[in-house]
Chain A
Amino acid sequence: MNVDKTFTSGMPAFEISIPNASDFRFGYNLDQNACNCPLAEDEHQYQFVTNWTKIKGNHSFKFGADIRYAYNLRVPSDRHRSGQLNFDNGITQGNDGSNGAGLAAFLLGDVTHFQRFVSSSFNAYETQPRRFFYAQDTWRVSKKLTFNYGLRWDLYIPESVAGKDLGGWVDTLTGEMRVAGENGVNKQGNTHTNYKHLSPRLGSHIS
């Protein structure tokens, strides 16, 4: 079960049922010692912001931009990659329905069920750019009257997977997995940027 010296190394998780008591367990997995391991997780966020202010007459113009780029990689082991072996009581129960014992199943080497995490890639990251822009003016018409107006533009670029076969999306209509780089599905799952997220502002103030 240790098919390499890295991701599938170490002691598999053994869970042996005991009648009327809690399981006898050893090894590593999420259930027994909260070890989602091996786990490799990387997140990066880049952010660039600029603001400009220009005063002209009774106008105070402001405009600016907020540019962000996010990267996420997570290679988990929700089920231990060298394997999780469960030995249940029921597998050795008698024909009359009397209780069996997980330890008997363990001594027989009769695994009731087996689970493991397997992945063919360890670099299936996602990235997403987000871009925000604004412009506004504060216009002091008179000592008593001030207007504020402006516009904000939000651009959420669709999340992108790392490359061909490194991500997919479930088609909820057919139940099929749409894999990036296959059958005309691009790295964004063919989602498009909405360029119409515009937020106008208008305000006035009388003193």
Chain B
Amino acid sequence: MKNGAAAGLAVLSLLATPLRAEAPPKPESFGPEMIHLPALERQAEQGILRPVPIAVELPDDLNLRARRVLLHYRLWGEPDWTTLQLRSRGARYEGAIPCLEVSTVTGDLKYYIRVHDNEGRVVASAGSRAKPYVVTIKNDWALSAGAKAPARCPDPADCPAGLPGCPSEKVEVVCQTDKDCEGGLTCSWRGVCEKIDRRRDFFLLSVAQDFGLVATSGACSVHAQENEGYACYRSDGGQYIGSPVMTNEPVGVGPGPTRLMVGFEHLFYYDTSVGVRVGWAALGVGPTPRGGTPFFPLSVALRATHWFGSDLFARSGWRPYAFVTGGYGMSDIKARTQVREDPRAQSRQPGNDLEQRLVVWKRAGDGFVGAGGGVAFAFDPRRMLSIEAALLQAFPYGALIVAPTLGGMFAF
């Protein structure tokens, strides 16, 4: 469209015969339709200080699905693209790049058009950032002979935003996914494109130290050691198999395994994420008594996390959170207890004093559920450091486990 008579009106049409647009392909895939126009119609020219009217006419089937038609344009020398919503008149959508924005700068003005449906999806487009339409802004004397010269800009003081020829209003581009946004913009949780480096998927590395609370009353009886996951050891290192008197002993508290963990976290809403953690117990594993179940160092946990705050992942800084978790994992808890030997019982083991202090190992697990909380500090959208504590109940071999964890999360 290089003829001067139509220089000021770049019309994209799917139906209008003068421009002879090709019919759009049927939507056989989930991607947007491409509005094809002959290469000739990608060029136009316009005088300075004049609006550039844009109109597009959609085919009926596309018009039924269209909710908004957005014009994206970039003036010569401008680093950013500007968006303008075209007004609907039936199947025809019209608008104009304001003459005050065209101003007196000569050069190529680039633009393309995208059609969005009710949910913000791009259902059709004409041109693209990579291959836009071009209107060359020229001085009046340089325009082709016979080019139409519409009126110049009105007085800016009488020019409300949004009117043709006046400065355009900024339009938020509706989106569903990041794919609906261009130029490094990401789709926000409000469903509009924003210039924010928003990350939703994180890789995680952390180290956790278990601490456990275990009941030690009766823990060193032969029955408890054979059936409840306990193992008691004397000061000489031998396993205790004596005849203890049942006494009230306080709850034992002691360290459990130190775990190295890797994980994945996916943010599926601005304040909610789900993740998985795989751990390896590197330290703190107790001895396995004869006939006992060997310790399995691998652990797997699923978790759901709630992040407290409004769209925390849109900015750096503190990110407090709470989570629930559950999974598979063994935990050896080391505690100490006092045992009193029953002098009336038939001796089963030599050398057991009337009273002695024993080391108790409780092999808790293999399942666990729990909850916890923590806080993360995001240095930037891609990196954050977190510290948290979880309170876990192990089952069927019970123990209450507190697991403080220090970790780093890295977006990808």
Whether A and B are associated in the same complex: the answer reads no
